Amino acid sequence: METQNFKFETVAVHAGVEPDPSTGAIMTPIFATSTYVQPTPGQHKGYDYSRTANPTRTALETSIAALEGAQHCLAMSSGCTGTDVLCHSLNAGDHVVSVDDVYGGTSRLFRTVWSRHGIETTFADLANQDLKDFVRPQTKMIWIETPTNPLLKIIDIERVVAQAKKLNPRPLVVVDNTFASPYFQRPLELGADVVLHSTTKYLNGHSDVVGGAICFNGKELKEKLHHIQNSIGGVPGPFDAWLVLRGIKTLALRMKRHEENAKEIADMLEKHPKIERVLYPGLKSHPQHEIAKRQMGGFGGMITFFLKGNLETARGFLEKVKLFSLAESLGGVESLIEHPAIMTHASIPAEMRAKLGISDTLIRISVGIENVEDLKKDLLQALG
Ligand SMILES: *Cc1c(COP(=O)(O)O)cnc(C)c1O
């Protein structure tokens, strides 16, 4: 169905989803097939081998592209595969400028894998520092994540894009939109070239898939990036594609509830005497609250806070929560809590973590869609 003229909630339910022509099934079938029969050599219906394309995956790609306002989307086997495919589009000798406070796996890929293939990355605090102070003639990609992970800094996408556009050659501006989801932020509309998602998180929303996606405009970029993905092979299976497509149908409802709950919890934590500081883009005290208000439609469901005390205080608190599950990842319907220094960001060298401010008392929560009173009670009892 053409969904261009519909609003987000409608697009989320309908984009990419056509009744199956052979049976009328309203839901996209899981096309569990590796190959497709050809009536004569070289003639087919757009599908010849499932690494190259698969109809369930096509439906998912159409859906995510519509949500991001992109011409094209490529669904990936994970968010990291999306990052990897984009790195593969660079050449040895090229240079990347990345936000310093990026997802640990992104940082690890830049620092420990691509550095060995001649691609150097400079990490910069683009919330407080200027892109132009870090670029070189070889800079071919700018990597923005906003809100960042775990410090929830907000990067002004339009400002970075304006600076990147002045450069020659003009680098690709990529925005990791995993934390906001397209419901709250659409970076292509702000001038970015590529949007990356870990669909593992909010897009799927039910903590039962690892997946990724990249979205962009232009035929040339489509051919280049699809060629790379098809050559290296990081594709999601049809069942995973189907699960994410199913998850997306309730994205708008979920994001709204994640945010409502997060706002209330952030307010409660900010007033609590055992908490030193709360970072949530929706709080007036957040250093980039005004930018968040301008570039996002809402502030999301992630909250970071610093406990008063030390590592033992943090450990005690994390052992006492009952409803919040102590686990990595985020963006599912259930609430999660974690300790970035020991868990999600352990792959970041200790001195880099210290410089960023990822301390032993830093806690990150992914607020789920449960009843907020139950969530608040759980945090309060654990704070004691
Ligand atoms: C999880 C995550 C990734 C990596 O995605 P995977 O699906 O785990 O490979 C990238 N960016 C952000 C912001 C993430 O949270």
Q: Is the CB of 176 under 6 A from ligand 1?
A: yes
Ligand 1 atom with the shortest distance to the CA of 212? 7
Q: Which residues of 346-365 are buried (b: 16+ CB within 10 A; e: fewer)?
A: eebeeeebeebebbbbbbbb
List CB contacts of 232: < 8 A, sequence separation 6 or more: 84, 85, 88
The alpha helices in 233-349, defined as continuous H runs, are 238-248, 251-271, 289-295, 311-320
Bridge partners of 373? none
Ligand 1 atom with the shortest distance to the CA of 105? 4
CA–CA separation, 32 and 16 (whole Å): 18
**Rounded distance from Cα 28 to ligand 1 centre (Å):** 26
Whether residues 66 and 147 fall in one domain? yes
**Rounded distance from Cα 181 to ligand 1 centre (Å):** 12
pLDDT digits (tens, 9 = 90+) for 134-173: 999 999 999 999 999 899 999 999 999 999 999 999 999 9
- On the CB side of 302, how many CA atoms lie within 13 Å of its CA? 26
Whether residues 176 and 90 fall in one domain? yes
**Rounded distance from Cα 322 to ligand 1 centre (Å):** 25
Q: What is the CATH number of the domain that holds 22?
A: 3.40.640.10
Residue 345 burial by Cβ neighbours in a 10 Å radius (0-12, 13-18, 19+): buried
**Rounded distance from Cα 212 to ligand 1 centre (Å):** 8
Averaged pLDDT, 209-221:
98
Whether residues 218 and 149 fall in one domain? yes
Torsion sign over Cα 238, 8, 78, 194: positive
Q: Is the CB of 198 under 6 A from ligand 1?
A: yes
Which uninterrupted H or E stretch holds 306?
A: strand 302-307
Q: Is the CB of 304 under 6 A from ligand 1?
A: no
pLDDT digits (tens, 9 = 90+) for 314-368: 999 999 999 999 999 999 999 999 999 999 898 888 898 999 999 999 999 999 9
For ligand 1, atom 11: residue with the closest CA? 103
Whether residues 124 and 214 fall in one domain? yes
Q: Is 244 a residue whose pLDDT tops 90?
A: yes
Whether residues 146 and 258 fall in one domain? no
Range of the structural domain that residue 307 is part of: 252-383
- On the CB side of 122, how many CA atoms lie within 13 Å of its CA? 19
Under the phi-then-psi rule, with left for phi > 0, alpha for psi from -120 to 50, and beta for the rest, what region is 368?
Answer: beta
pLDDT at 347: 85
1 domain residue, yes or no: no
Q: Is the CB of 105 under 6 A from ligand 1?
A: yes
Whether residues 113 and 258 fall in one domain? no
- Kindly list the catalytic residues: 51, 103, 176, 201
- On the CB side of 231, how many CA atoms lie within 13 Å of its CA? 10
For ligand 1, atom 4: residue with the closest CA? 79
The phi and psi torsions of 364 (rounded to 5 degrees) equal -120, 135
> What DSSP string describes 52-71?
T--HHHHHHHHHHHHHHT-S
Length of the chain in terms of residues written: 384
Pocket test for ligand 1, best of 103, 194, 304 (most atoms within 8 A of CB): 103
pLDDT at 3: 82
Q: Is 1 a residue whose pLDDT tops 90?
A: no
Whether residues 263 and 281 fall in one domain? yes
Q: Is the CB of 177 under 6 A from ligand 1?
A: no
146 domain residue, yes or no: yes
Q: Which of 94, 85, 111, 92 is nearest to 216 (CA)?
A: 85
Question: Distances from the Cα of 125 to the Cαs of 69, 143, 278, in angstroms?
Answer: 28, 11, 20
Whether residues 62 and 170 fall in one domain? yes
Q: Is the CB of 200 under 6 A from ligand 1?
A: yes
Q: CB of 139 within 8 A of CB of 109?
A: no
Comparison of pLDDT for 344 and 243, the residue scoring more = 243
Task: Quote the number of domains for the chain.
Answer: 2
Q: What is the pTM of this model?
A: 0.97
CA–CA separation, 102 and 279 (whole Å): 16
CA–CA separation, 89 and 78 (whole Å): 17
pLDDT at 222: 98
Q: Is the CB of 340 under 6 A from ligand 1?
A: no
